[in-house]
Amino acid sequence: MRLPRLRTLFVVPVTLALLGAALLSSAVLAQGEEMKVTMVNANGNEIGEVRMSETRFGTVDVEGRVRGLEPGFHGFHVHAVGECEAPDFMSAKGHVGETEGENHSGHTGDMSSLLVKRNGTATLRVTTDRFDLDDLRDDDGSAVMVHAGADNFANIPERYAPGGPDEDTLETGDSGGRVACGEIDAG
Q: Are residues 16 and 93 in the same domain?
A: no
| pLDDT given for residue 47 in this prediction | 98
Q: Are residues 152 and 120 in the same domain?
A: yes
85-102 b/e (C-beta count within 10 Å ≥ 16 → b): eeeebebbbbbbbbeeee
Domain count, the chain: 2
Q: Are residues 41 and 9 in the same domain?
A: no
Nearest to 187 by CA among 153, 156, 141, 154: 141
CATH number of the domain enclosing 42: 2.60.40.200
Q: Are residues 49 and 97 in the same domain?
A: yes
Contact, 77 vs 95, CB < 8 A?
Answer: yes
Q: Are residues 3 and 14 in the same domain?
A: yes
Q: Are residues 51 and 127 in the same domain?
A: yes
Q: Are residues 45 and 133 in the same domain?
A: yes
Q: Are residues 58 and 14 in the same domain?
A: no
Residues in a beta bridge with 126: 62
Q: Which residues contact 33 (CB under 8 A, 6 or more apart)?
A: 53, 54, 133
| pLDDT given for residue 86 in this prediction | 95
| pLDDT given for residue 163 in this prediction | 76
Contact, 127 vs 112, CB < 8 A?
Answer: no
Q: Which domain holds residue 141?
A: 34-184
Q: Are residues 42 and 23 in the same domain?
A: no
Q: Are residues 45 and 69 in the same domain?
A: yes
| pLDDT given for residue 145 in this prediction | 96
Q: Are residues 52 and 23 in the same domain?
A: no
Q: Are residues 21 and 58 in the same domain?
A: no
| pLDDT given for residue 9 in this prediction | 44
Tens-level pLDDT at each residue, the chain (187 residues): 555 554 444 444 444 444 444 433 333 334 468 999 999 999 999 999 999 999 999 999 999 999 999 999 999 999 999 999 999 999 999 878 765 555 555 667 888 899 999 999 999 999 999 999 999 999 999 999 999 998 876 666 677 667 766 666 666 667 788 999 999 998 7
